[in-house]
Structure 1
């Protein structure tokens, strides 16, 4: 890692242009936030829920907002979500949700965090390559497929990891000590990110070795491992591994209802090198890093995430959709900057190489964005449900009800209710059921469906455009 290569590609911006360079990152971030939030508001108003995850995190935020343990009944009656994944950083959702108690709050917060993460990346790129190419890379990052797919998949804990990585990696390149804190906090976002922290410590050691002598040798390795930066690298490795081991083998099993880490079974019975979808994901990551990013040791930070994803037996892990690649986007972008900054040893002129690398990254982002969910929204082809009917169903639910719902309606029903998902409700007693368009209960009499599934006698109190609310008569009339 050459941290003194700021002028290899282009001289620092002239003083009269500095004010413009400083505005560019914030302009791009503001435009990105506007696009992200416009999409999420449309998604929310149209009752589009790709999974039950937003409901889960909304229920968690509601618990934290009222100073309760993160008991998420959607996962199962009495389920402590800290036994599912290790994400204590999500306690920060509590104060925000207390002020704005809605699942939409989580979507907006994630969008703002993603948009904010573009600021340091655009700023560093503008300083090194000039305002024009810096803005191009900033736009490429803001529209990167990993971020847009995560926005479409709705809120997940990695919302906090993305800005921590963006700021942490940029600050490390700039030689700022706060980078260690920012990267170190990743261990509290999700259990596997402890390995990413450890990988960062390894990159620090590798970088120190490269600076110890013109050529790496055993003698220079021995010398580099005693330097201050190497000691910091070892501390990061120990910190990351400690929290990874502690969370996987102690904390999560202790808080999990089954006394185990629930995801052990997802890392087996699959071929690591198949299917071909995995190679497409790798190709997209290389393209997002402009290929030249492979010269940067920071690309090694992708390895822990890619290892568990490709070793997993869940097809969603392998591809470019959902939220799994979001944390890889700041790594790709900063690796591209770092790779270009250290490209003076190549025969291709740095400016030409920079234009090629950034252009490839930008074209990849634009192509993927146009064909993805956000692109469908921009083209006016994004399908949504009847907003008025959906809101009517939510309003038809009594306050403090014990509600069971399909996954589409979960996040909307959290505030003010005890909420269960129909797939994990178990033997919990419920007095209200809410179903949405396309539910199998519509193919029969919903009252009979509810009686067979939850017991008792039910009646329909709201039914419009496929949104149906039922109440259990024998409980509510007692």
Structure 2
């Protein structure tokens, strides 16, 4: 539960943004179950702060922080520490991307991706690259391309072969799996544009 160091660093990061004042509030106990299941897992992605798994904890932590601020104690110190830690940590997290000029420019490949996804009919079963999945969830039965428990033989496959994300499989495995789907005779290539490949299962 406490090793490797990633777990301790996660707890440190979570508490430090409140100037450690949240530990004075009983509301903090509401965060314990989430931390327990994350740290007990053998999935290393759950241990750190690199993904979204701490998002559910932040309202709990800041509710505890506000509760603690109403109690007697070093309020000014805690607020200053919270602000300082937040400023120091911000460049390590996605919110910092709002300060980068590239964030405000649309990737020209995005228009191609949208055009190809529009060719997939509503209600179809689809295996898609991880970044494309959220854009298909509202109208298709979609799973992540390469994920072990994906739906077998989806009707459509759309993959970003130019910039594979590296999850759930490596870029090399992504390209290998895509090549296998294209060459096994079960799928036909509908489009191959700007690195996006759209395959349709043969009848």
Larger relative contact order (C-alpha < 8 A, sep ≥ 6)? 1
Q: Which residue of 2 aligns with 1:432?
A: 156
Q: Any gaps of 5 or more consecutive residues in structure 2?
A: 165-171
Deviations 1:222-241 (A, max 9, x none): xxxxxxxxxxxxxxxxxxxx
Q: Which residue of 1 aligns with 2:169?
A: none
Q: Which residue of 1 aligns with 2:47?
A: 318
Quote the Cα distance in structure 1 between the aligned partners of 2:30 and 2:7.
17
Determine if contact 2:182/2:189 at 8 Å carries over to the other structure: no
Q: TM-score, normalised by structure 2?
A: 0.75
Deviations 1:292-330 (A, max 9, x none): 332222222222222222222221222123222223222
**Structure 1 vs Structure 2 CA RMSD:** 3.1
Q: Which residue of 2 aligns with 1:408?
A: 131
Q: Which residue of 2 aligns with 1:396?
A: 119
Describe the shift of the 1:418–1:278 C-alpha distance in structure 2 as closer, same or farther (beyond 3 A): closer
Judging by fraction of residues, say which structure has more helix. 1
Q: Any gaps of 5 or more consecutive residues in structure 1?
A: 1-271, 344-349
Determine if contact 1:404/1:433 at 8 Å carries over to the other structure: yes
Quote the Cα distance in structure 1 between the aligned partners of 2:68 and 2:176.
60
Match of 1:466 among 174, 195, 199: 195
Q: Which residue of 1 aligns with 2:37?
A: 308
The aligned runs of 1:290-439 (5 Å cut-off) are 290-343=19-72, 353-380=74-101, 382=103, 385=107, 386-398=109-121, 400-422=123-145, 423=147, 424-425=149-150, 427-428=152-153, 430-436=154-160, 437-439=162-164
Secondary structure class of the residue paired with 1:461:
strand
Q: Which residue of 2 aligns with 1:274?
A: 3
Deviations 1:139-176 (A, max 9, x none): xxxxxxxxxxxxxxxxxxxxxxxxxxxxxxxxxxxxxx
Quote the Cα distance in structure 2 between the aligned partners of 1:398 and 1:467.
17
Determine if contact 2:143/2:151 at 8 Å carries over to the other structure: no
The offset of 1:332, in angstroms, is 2.3
Q: Which residue of 2 aligns with 1:450?
A: 182
Report how many residues are paired.
191
Determine if contact 2:182/2:188 at 8 Å carries over to the other structure: no
Secondary structure class of the residue paired with 2:132:
helix
Describe the shift of the 1:384–1:373 C-alpha distance in structure 2 as closer, same or farther (beyond 3 A): farther
Secondary structure class of the residue paired with 2:54:
coil
Describe the shift of the 1:377–1:284 C-alpha distance in structure 2 as closer, same or farther (beyond 3 A): same
Larger Rg: 1
The aligned runs of 1:62-461 (5 Å cut-off) are 272-343=1-72, 353-380=74-101, 382=103, 385=107, 386-398=109-121, 400-422=123-145, 423=147, 424-425=149-150, 427-428=152-153, 430-436=154-160, 437-439=162-164, 440=172, 449-452=181-184, 455-456=185-186, 458-461=187-190
Q: TM-score, normalised by structure 1?
A: 0.35
Judging by fraction of residues, say which structure has more strand. 2
The offset of 1:416, in angstroms, is 4.3
